[in-house]
Amino acid sequence: MLVLAAIAIPTVSRAFAVYQLNDAASRLAGILKFARYEAIRLNKQVPARVLATGNNWSVFADTNNNGVADPTESIDLIVPPITLLPAGSMPDTTPISSTLGSPTLVLTSVSAMNATILFDQRGAVVSGGGANVYVLYLGNSTDTDIGYRAVVLMPSGMVQIWSSAGGAWQLAS
């Protein structure tokens, strides 16, 4: 029994860590989609906010645009061991840019910093500098073996989740 447990425990804990990472990416994508749909439904601009709160990250659709996560708004917490990571610590993102249509496409990272992403009445992303593709990178900074996830927000408001396991980015959903 001890031998089986010694073999099974690392596999189960790795599977759980990958599950946590996938779950955080799905929840983050869900909040962005919700903010987009609220902008369309309410026929007004709605921001999605990403705010650091200690070691955690709060992500919420700020439907009343007051800058505060109110109890009536959809809020998600990203808590350690999964966290938002800076773009500089990610594997080469050229496969993401190439798949999106241009290898020279600039991915604007909003990971690891406070950010506001604004959706207009049509559900498109409002950006001051033109058509930006926003990316939020997720991972575990102490356990890079589980890979990374990138939540990509297109100018149209569409959301994609990318996975990097073993260094190569692949579209997950």
Residue 129: per-residue pLDDT:
63
Structure tokens at 88: 């500089």
Q: Which CATH class is domain 2-171?
A: alpha beta
How confident is the model over 132-146, as a mean pLDDT? 87
The residue that leads in pLDDT, 158 or 93, is 158
Pick left, alpha or beta for residue 69 (phi over 0 → left; psi -120 to 50 → alpha; otherwise beta): beta
CA angle 64, 37, 78 (to 5 degrees): 75
Name, in order, each residue with C-beta under 8 angstroms of 47's C-beta and a sequence gap of 6 or more.
Answer: 35, 61, 62, 65, 116, 117, 118, 119
In tens, the pLDDT along 28-66 reads: 999 999 999 999 999 999 999 999 988 899 999 999 999
CA distance 37 to 86: 27
26, amino acid identity? S
In tens, the pLDDT along 65-121 reads: 998 999 999 899 999 999 999 888 888 888 888 888 766 667 888 887 899 999 999
Tokens 């241009």 -> residue: 102
CB 64 within 8 A of CB 85: no
CA angle 139, 10, 21 (to 5 degrees): 20
CA distance 59 to 16: 23
HSE, CB side, 13 Å, CA atoms: give it for residue 77.
Answer: 7
- Residue 124's φ and ψ, nearest 5 degrees, are -85, 160
CA angle 132, 136, 139 (to 5 degrees): 155
β-pairing verdict for 56-61 and 107-109: unpaired
